[in-house]
């Protein structure tokens, strides 16, 4: 049996160190999971270390999404396969997952 997950991710960084000094930079990553019933549940994290940038936070959201997907699959002992689709508006994430990997 295949367990299908649709995941939407996004990340943002305030006071991005690329444009300003890195003091006070804070990033936020959000992961939204769509359930079979059409409902959604959200996981988010704020980060200050390592120096957050938008690209780092976006990639952190992918890692967080995959960890949560793995945990969810582990709780479903009858599932043998996991089909995950991650939706992102970040060129960095899309290129990392489709071309650079």
- The tens digit of pLDDT for each residue in 18-74 reads 655 556 788 899 999 987 777 888 888 887 767 788 888 898 899 999 888 888 777
Whether the per-residue pLDDT at 88 is higher than 90: the answer is yes
Integer-rounded Cα radius of gyration of the chain: 15
Report yes or no: 2 and 18 within 8 Å, Cβ to Cβ: no
- Distance, in Å, from the CA atom of 59 to the CA atom of 86, rounded to the nearest integer, reads 12
Domains of the chain, earliest start first:
2-88 (3.30.420.10)
Task: Indicate the pTM of the whole model.
Answer: 0.79
Find, among 63, 80, 72, 67, the residue nearest to 35 by Cα: 72
Q: Phi then psi for 38, rounded to 5 degrees?
A: 90, 5
Output 59 or 100, whichever has higher pLDDT.
Answer: 59
Place of tokens 């939706």: 87
């Amino acid at each position: 049996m295949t367990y299908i997950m649709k995941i939407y991710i996004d990340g943002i960084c305030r006071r991005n160190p690329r444009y300003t000094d890195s003091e006070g930079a804070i990033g936020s990553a959000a992961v939204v999971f769509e359930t079979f019933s059409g409902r959604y549940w959200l996981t988010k994290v704020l980060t200050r270390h390592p120096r957050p940038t938008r690209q780092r936070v976006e990639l952190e959201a992918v890692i967080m999404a995959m960890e949560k997907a793995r945990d969810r699959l582990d709780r479903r002992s009858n599932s043998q396969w996991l089909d995950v689709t991650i939706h992102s508006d970040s060129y960095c994430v899309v290129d990392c997952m489709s071309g650079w990997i």
